[in-house]
Structure 1
Amino acid sequence: MQLPLTPIQRSRLRKHKIRLHDIAETAADELAVILGTTPHKARTLIALAEFQSIPSIGIRFAEDLVFLGYFRLEDLRHEDGAALTHAYEKKKGYWIDPCVEDQFRLVVHVARTRDRSMNWWDFTATRKQYRAKHGYPADRPTRAWHEVRSHQ
């Protein structure tokens, strides 16, 4: 698990015997005090830890979920992987690697079922079937993620 922590913050976690994997279960106000940070930053760290607790989800995708305004896995329970993909692409202004949609589908699955036995690539066939039937929205951005300098 990767979290954007300073060396001092890591030291404070050790002093309080809090492992990185425990952060997802720590109260935001308590974490803010321990780390000497804002409640918003603590809430973000908790979200990043919770999202990375899902197999095959790393820091970059966890940050993408926070970018979309999600801070708890439970908040994704009633979402849809295809709709999340569209919202993400619209907000970014470019279309993304299809495997990112598979990750959206995985986190929605875990939020709904609590089943953590699958990885994002287990949703590739489902995505391909869905896209073959429904295609992409007409207002999907035309530029690809690999054409955007800030993404590289």
Structure 2
Amino acid sequence: MRLNKTPKLELTVQERQGLRKNKILLSDIHKISVSDLCLIMEVSELRAKELKAASEFQSVPSIGPAFAKDLIKLGYYELQELKEKDGARLFEKLEELYRERIDPCVEDQFRFIVFYANNPGSDKQWWDFTEERKNYRSAFGYTARPD
């Protein structure tokens, strides 16, 4: 069963006012086109794209704002862009980006969101991928520590 949750987006006062004025819920931002968001919220195209992406990623069960930001930092703006990706490789790219070790549970989230992109509406949660990650890392290990 999919949870209906309102995304936690970091919005400016002006952006919130634009949503209120147009009677748009935070949870519906990802349903609006980037060009319409630009007009409604009076933001740049990039900002509208980021807000739309954060909303879409956070509409996935058990995905929160921090992970949504990580996906955006890696250059993803739509769930469908993750369909053919490898969760382990995405995790490694994030460690490269931050140049530090990241909690292995984040890899579980990557594995989950790739699965969810291919299986929308699934009842699985990110922690359902912990065993898969552990088995994979037991066999293949982790990449060298980022510098």
Q: What TM-score comes out, normalization by structure 1 length?
A: 0.89
Asked if 1:105 is matched to 2:117, the reply is: no
Q: 1:31 pairs with 32, 37, 57, which one?
A: 37
> How far did residue 14 of structure 1 move?
1.5
Gaps of 5+ in 1: 143-152
Asked if 1:77 is matched to 2:83, the reply is: yes
3-state SS, counterpart of residue 37 of structure 1 = coil
Separation in structure 2 between the aligned mates of residue 115 and residue 131 of structure 1, nearest angstrom: 28
Find the counterpart in structure 2 of residue 150 from structure 1.
none
Find the counterpart in structure 1 of residue 134 from structure 2.
128
Find the counterpart in structure 2 of residue 141 from structure 1.
146
* Deviates most, 28-37 or 113-122: 113-122
Separation in structure 2 between the aligned mates of residue 8 and residue 42 of structure 1, nearest angstrom: 13
* Deviates most, 88-97 or 1-10: 1-10
Find the counterpart in structure 2 of residue 147 from structure 1.
none
Q: What TM-score comes out, normalization by structure 2 length?
A: 0.91
- Alpha-carbon distance change, 59 to 132 in structure 1, aligned in 2, over 3 angstroms: same
> When the two structures are aligned, how many residues end up with a matched partner?
141
Separation in structure 1 between the aligned mates of residue 12 and residue 136 of structure 2, nearest angstrom: 42
Aligned sequence identity (%): 45
3-state SS, counterpart of residue 101 of structure 2 = coil
Separation in structure 2 between the aligned mates of residue 38 and residue 16 of structure 1, nearest angstrom: 18
Find the counterpart in structure 2 of residue 15 from structure 1.
21
Q: 1:114 pairs with 120, 123, 140, which one?
A: 120
Asked if 1:52 is matched to 2:58, the reply is: yes
Shift >6 Å, 4+ stretches = none
Amino acid of the structure 2 residue aligned with 1:33: L
Over residues 6-49 of structure 1, what are the superposed CA-to-partner deviations in whole Å (9 max), with x where a residue is unaligned? 12221221211111111011000100111111011000000000
For the aligned residue pairs, the C-alpha RMSD in angstroms reads 1.1
Q: Is the 8 A contact 1:56 1:120 kept in 2?
A: yes
